[in-house]
Amino acid sequence: MRLELRGLTKRFGSLLANDRIDLAVAPGEIHCLLGENGAGKSTLMNMLYGLLQPDAGEILLDGRALRVLSPGDAIAAGIGMVHQHFMLVPVFTVAENLMLGREPTKGFVLDRAAARRRVRELSERYGLPVDPDALVSRLSVGEQQRVEILKALSHEVSVLILDEPTAVLTPQEIDELMGVLRTIASGGASIIFITHKLREVTAIADRITVIRRGAVVATVAPDTPESELAELMVGRSVELVVAKTPAAPRGPALRVRELTVVDAAGAVVVDDLTFDIDGGEIVGIAGVVGNGQSELVHALLGLRAPVRGSIAVRGRELTGLGPRQHLAAGIGYVPEDRSHDGYIGSFSVAENLVLDLVDRPEFSRRGILSPTAVRRNASRRVAEFDIRTQSVEEPVRSLSGGNQQKIVLAREMSRPLAVLIAGQPTRGLDVGSIEFVHGRIVRERDQGTAVLIVSSELDEIYALADRIIVMYRGRIVGIVGPQTPRDRLGLMMAGGSGGDDDA
């Protein structure tokens, strides 16, 4: 069926999230919707799926206007959606999740045999293997996504929407997904594939529509150069490659030996890790989220005591000491979840810029904070890090994600560091802010700091890392150089041995 959106408009208060959007998708077409975070992609799809009601505009299927007041209406019209955040019930099995809301019943009992059969049949038809009896909570994220897709396909779909489906997948899983989408499209269904990753659109799309600030800026062919797509997305030309000379290592700054950490249940989550990071180099930790990276970072910060092994910064033994001593030893930290650990939303920009520096002599005397010194520091950092804010008195909560992240970076980089640890430093940021944050991280390296980057985005690892450590199930699978091909890294991220190379 031919889908057409005409003039779709959605406001949230004073924010115009979608501004008269036109979009046409042909049967069998894979149409990519490309745009930065906050551009309005999910809003548009939520209107198509009946989760939001448009303020103006219409949705047409084969030329007939369609009213979509709920996801039920969308499903009945043949529109399926795989959400950005999975919506499965973890304590249910795959078959139970697929049948939720419309169980095939035998009398009053759920017909489990029929449900299982249906899962097998769909799995086979689309080449998406899953065990119908597996508990969803036991599945990897890649497998959970397969279930989400099967669930959408368990209804007759003529339009399938996937909202940022690759965020949590390994490169191999992404390739598999692309194959599955091709199969579905070749059966005549239209696919709307939402992403902010340029590599993906050029690989999969038949056509690409770029959305910026709620409006369509262009619909282009997939052979459009990535630089051009980036410019359409951002509205100005962007540096896609981080300018960076080879690392000039200055001797070990961080030394980790046989580090072992267990979780609350006593399971080993960081398993016997040994590595060094030199001052002046960036080491990237690659791995699918949930393979011990967060626990490693927490141990390095003294937030979690290891059960075995040691951590030393510039020769100073830190094992068993708390976060204060770790920070005092020269560790800077840009947390993965910045809204939780990085800043205090109700505090002003100026206050957040001195959060863990308040006992330093330049800001306070005999325990009394100097408002002038705090404000002067803030003005300097705001200018230096190009933080967009009305004033330094504004609460950080009301700034955009990119500017909040710059505040965390500005604060952490405003004292001399031996080691900088950054978790997912650019997650959720727009391309312009990513460019800036990457530039500052490289500059920190060039000043002699040892940098540890944890990222599930291979593009980010490749952009920054001088060496790459791959983690899987709490262990180091390999330590490799930055030239290591993507498919080899992908295999290692899935636990396959990649072995160590010359790095």
**Which of 37, 260, 310, 364 is in the footprint of ligand ADP by CB under 6 A?**
37
Q: Is 8 in the site for ligand ADP (CB under 6 A)?
A: no
Choose between 37 and 260: whose C-beta lies nearer to ligand ADP.
37
**Which of 18, 42, 195, 449 is in the footprint of Mg ion by CB under 5 A?**
42
38 binds, among Mg ion, ligand ADP, none (CB under 5 to 8 A by kind): ligand ADP
CB 172, min distance to Mg ion, A: 24
CB 114, min distance to ligand ADP, A: 37
CB 43, min distance to ligand ADP, A: 3
Q: Is 216 in the site for ligand ADP (CB under 6 A)?
A: no
Contacts (Cβ under 8 Å, ≥6 apart) of 99: 110, 115, 118
Q: Say which DSSP state 135 is in.
A: B
* 379/391 Cα distance (integer angstroms): 9
What is the rounded (10 degree) CA torsion for 170, 171, 175, 176? Answer: -20
CB 212, min distance to Mg ion, A: 14
Q: Say which DSSP state 450 is in.
A: E
Choose between 19 and 356: whose C-beta lies nearer to ligand ADP.
19
470 binds, among Mg ion, ligand ADP, none (CB under 5 to 8 A by kind): none
Choose between 187 and 345: whose C-beta lies nearer to ligand ADP.
345
Query: Other CB atoms closer than 10 Å to residue 388's CB: what's the count?
Result: 12
Burial of 44 (0-12, 13-18, 19+ CB in 10 A): buried
Contact status, residue 452 vs residue 445, Cβ threshold 8 Å: no
Choose between 42 and 123: whose C-beta lies nearer to ligand ADP.
42
Q: Is 12 in the site for ligand ADP (CB under 6 A)?
A: yes
Stretch that binds Mg ion, among 41-49, 271-279, 290-298, 435-443 (CB under 5 A): 41-49
Measure the N-to-C terminal CA separation of the chain; round to a whole number of Å: 53
Contact status, residue 273 vs residue 305, Cβ threshold 8 Å: no
Region 53-112 residues binding ligand ADP, contact defined as CB under 6 A? none
State CA 196 to chain mean position distance: 10
CB 17, min distance to Mg ion, A: 11
Closest CA to 212 of 19, 64, 10, 357: 19
Q: Is 39 in the site for ligand ADP (CB under 6 A)?
A: yes
Strands, sheet with 64-66, edge to edge from the N-terminal-most edge strand: 15-25, 3-12, 56-61, 64-66
**Which of 25, 38, 408, 423 is in the footprint of ligand ADP by CB under 6 A?**
38
Q: Which residues bind Mg ion (CB under 5 A)?
A: 42
Q: Which residues bind ligand ADP (CB under 6 A)?
A: 12, 15, 17, 35, 37-43
